[in-house]
A and B are shown apart, each in its own frame.
Chain A
Amino acid sequence: KAGVTQTPRYLIKTRGQQVTLSCSPISGHRSVSWYQQTPGQGLQFLFEYFSETQRNKGNFPGRFSGRQFSNSRSEMNVSTLELGDSALYLCASTDRQGANTQYFGPGTRLTVL
């Protein structure tokens, strides 16, 4: 099976702009989670989607939003970008079997100038 894919891999934006990141889960996985990774804060949970519904949300401002489509692909959007939004954004999909292990994509590295 193909792994989790994320596009684009790299993005450079300026403050105030908005950005949309995309994630395609492993075939058959219906749950998608998003994480932000920064040197200062480490890995932090953003939100999780299952069957097009957001089931859980981390402690991030409303500028961070997401959605999931009927084919389980997910997008996250960050509006009004700030310098502090520069990070590696990781998407993970879950098989919902046994341990419900999360399998990660390669990430999107966002730089805000």
Chain B
Amino acid sequence: AQKITQTQPGMFVQEKEAVTLDCTYDTSDPSYGLFWYKQPSSGEMIFLIYQGSYDQQNATEGRYSLNFQKARKSANLVISASQLGDSAMYFCAMREGRPDSNYQLIWGAGTKLIIKP
């Protein structure tokens, strides 16, 4: 079974609109972390936001927020006021176990986001 599922292979969004990228995960470990990364066409993987399984509040980083619904095993990325520079591949990734116990990230297939002017 897929541990990280991103159901949207591609999305087109009008500039300045908000966009939600879906991510569902599967783990039986009570301690885990969820990450979102952005990969422009240049290839570098850029860290955006992190949510720990025990975090009580949804994570936010500037225009990025994470809609964490633990019971539904969902960790959607929300980008507010999208910009042309947001066009890229977006990956959801999970680390199972405590932060200091495991450095292996499990990745989703990614969503290609294109912002239209």
A residues in contact (CB < 8 Å) with B: 31, 33, 35, 42-45, 48, 50, 55-56, 58, 88, 90, 92, 94, 96, 98-107, 109
Residue of A nearest to B52 (CB): A99
Cβ-defined contact, A102 with B100, below 8 A: no
Per-residue interface assignment for chain B, residues 92 to 109, with 1 indicating a CB less than 8 Å from any chain A CB and 0 otherwise: 010100011011111111
Residue in B44, B102, B109 with the greatest tally of chain A CB atoms within 10 Å: B44
Contact of B99 among A35, A44, A99, A109 (CB under 8 A): A99
| Residues in chain B within 8 A of chain A (CB atoms) | 33, 35, 37, 42-47, 50, 52, 91, 93, 95, 99-100, 102-110
Q: A109's contact among B43, B100, B109, by CB below 8 Å, is which?
A: B43
Cβ–Cβ contact A48 & B99, under 8 A? no
Can you name 30 A-B pairs with beta carbons within 8 Å?
A: A31-B103, A33-B103, A33-B105, A35-B105, A42-B107, A43-B105, A43-B107, A45-B106, A48-B103, A48-B104, A90-B43, A96-B100, A98-B99, A99-B35, A99-B50, A99-B52, A100-B100, A100-B103, A101-B47, A102-B35, A102-B47, A102-B103, A103-B47, A104-B37, A104-B44, A104-B45, A104-B47, A106-B44, A107-B43, A107-B44
User: Dominant SS at the A interface?
Assistant: strand
When C-beta atoms are compared, the residue in chain A nearest to B109 turns out to be A42
Known A-B contacts A42-B109, A45-B105; the reply to A100 vs B47 at CB < 8 A is no
B35 close to A101 (CB less than 8 A):
yes
Q: A42-B109, A99-B52 are in contact. Are A90 and B103 (CB under 8 A)?
A: no
Query: Are B46 and A58 in touch, CB under 8 angstroms?
Result: no
A-chain residues with CB within 8 Å of residue B95 when the two chains form the complex: 100
- Give Cα A4–Cα B59 distance, bound, in whole angstroms: 25
In the complex, are the beta carbons of B110 and A92 less than 8 A apart?
A: no
Do A99 and B104 contact each other (CB < 8 Å), given the known contacts A90-B45, A92-B45, A106-B42? no
Nearest CB in chain A to that of B43: its residue: A107
